[in-house]
Structure 1
Amino acid sequence: MDVRAERTRRSLQVALLQLARERPLDEFTVAEIAARAGVNRSSFYQHYSDKETLLADALDAAAEAAAATLPAQYEPPNGPPQALVHFLEHVDEHAALYRSVFGPTGSAAVLARLRARIDAIVREGFVSSADTAYDGLPIDIIAAGITGSALGVVEAWLMRDPRPSVEIGAEWVWRALLGPGSAWA
């Protein structure tokens, strides 16, 4: 990939996230994003068709950055994995933006991209794992269940007012994913 193009895309993503911390997504323009990124509007359109596509890329990059902290060999941790904590730190930092994505008038396209990214991360984790807990279930079913549960808890945590800490949110996601465990026996 062209280093300059990647740098421009990253600058646009950062600019969008900065502006979204200041005011809602529908209250700023492509021109403002480009100006904040230090590029012109035509550069924006060379990389993105609209703000929603840029937003999807920015949130996708955040999920990917969190996933990069996952170990190469999966070992079930005692508590929430650091990758989950890192991701929720990003969500917390950009809470208003994520609330708008998850909310009733949110972006189905952006949420679908985020769901796809997390689904891919879950699949990769299971491929590198020797866990037998889900033996007999297709990987797409496992990934869909974990992704849906995780995003559901993230959304519920995000919408609370006041919103609990990132650590509590990560614990909630983790406990929801683990289920009652031995309590079923």
Structure 2
Amino acid sequence: MDPRVARTRRSLQEALLELARRRPLDEITVGDIVERAGVNRSSFYQHYTDKDTLLADALEVAIGEVSAPIVADPDYRMPPALVAYLEHLAANAALYRRVLGPHGSALVANRLRARVHQIAQEHLAYADAGIEGLPADIAAAGIAGSALGVVTAWIALDPLPTADVAADWVWRTLLGPGRAWRPADEVTS
């Protein structure tokens, strides 16, 4: 990518994130973003079709910067990158409450779900840990939905529990319910 293009996109992303930490998204205009970024309006539209697309890109970049790839662990230990990712969400809780809340950004939520789905599919393939009779993409969709559901419920809490607590909730949700769904005689044997 041309360094000027990357620099302009990064300026726009940082400007929107900075503004969104202080004001509700629906109050932020493209004019506010370009002014903060130090670029003109036409530069915005050369790179982004709308504010939601810019926000989705900005959050993907921010998340990528704060967390290492989530690596599968054959012993089912919680990946440290999950905590780092949730620490990013906690540090930007007001913004994530807005985008993941009932009147949030469907685009951002869908892109986040797609990213978690991709990670889940990669790990199912890596660990050769599919669920018998269930296609990997369907299992990955269930994992993504569960993880995002826990994260959305956590980020809505006030006061916000720590990222460590949320990571434990996500991890236990992903690993734990299977035992509860088996018939009682299988669980005790």
Q: Does the alignment reach a TM-score above 0.5? A: yes
Contact 2:52 2:108 in 1 (8 A): yes
Q: Give how far 1:93 is off.
A: 1.7
Q: Which residue of 2 aligns with 1:151?
A: 148
1:26 is aligned to 2:23: no
The residue type paired with residue 148 of structure 2 is L
1:35 is aligned to 2:32: no
> Matches of 2:93 and 2:167 in 1, distance apart?
15
Q: Give how far 1:29 is off.
A: 1.5
Q: Give how far 1:102 is off.
A: 1.7
Q: Which residue of 1 aligns with 2:105?
A: 107
Contact 2:68 2:81 in 1 (8 A): yes
Q: Which residue of 2 aligns with 1:163?
A: 160
Q: Which residue of 2 aligns with 1:118?
A: 116
2:55 aligns to what SS in structure 1? helix
Distance 1:90 1:134, change over 3 A: same
Percent sequence identity is 60
Q: Which residue of 2 aligns with 1:173?
A: 170
1:59-138 aligned at under 5 Å gives the runs 59-65=59-65, 68-71=68-71, 74-76=72-74, 79-127=77-125, 129-132=126-129, 134-138=131-135
Considering only aligned residues, what root-mean-square deviation do their CA atoms show, in Å? Answer: 2.1
Larger mean Cα displacement after TM superposition, 163-172 or 130-139: 130-139
1:160 aligns to what SS in structure 2? coil
Contact 2:130 2:136 in 1 (8 A): no
Distance 1:8 1:76, change over 3 A: farther
Q: Give how far 1:24 is off.
A: 0.8
Give the alignment's TM-score, normalised by structure 1.
0.87
> Matches of 1:64 and 1:126 in 2, distance apart?
21
Distance 1:119 1:139, change over 3 A: same
Deviations 1:25-81 (A, max 9, x none): 11221122122222222111110111111111122334444664334xx32466431
Distance 1:40 1:175, change over 3 A: same
Which ranges of structure 2 fall in alignment gaps of 5 or more residues?
A: none
When the two structures are aligned, how many residues end up with a matched partner? 182
Q: Highest Rg: 1 or 2?
A: 2
The residue type paired with residue 98 of structure 1 is Y
More relative contact order in 1 or in 2 (CA 8 Å, sep 6+)?
1
Deviations 1:64-122 (A, max 9, x none): 44664334xx3246643122112212211221111112222112222112111221122
Q: Which residue of 2 aligns with 1:9?
A: 9
Q: Which residue of 2 aligns with 1:139?
A: 136
Deviations 1:128-181 (A, max 9, x none): x23435243211111111000000000111111111011111111111111146
> Matches of 1:144 and 1:67 in 2, distance apart?
22
> Matches of 1:117 and 1:51 in 2, distance apart?
20
Distance 1:181 1:25, change over 3 A: same
> Matches of 1:150 and 1:77 in 2, distance apart?
19
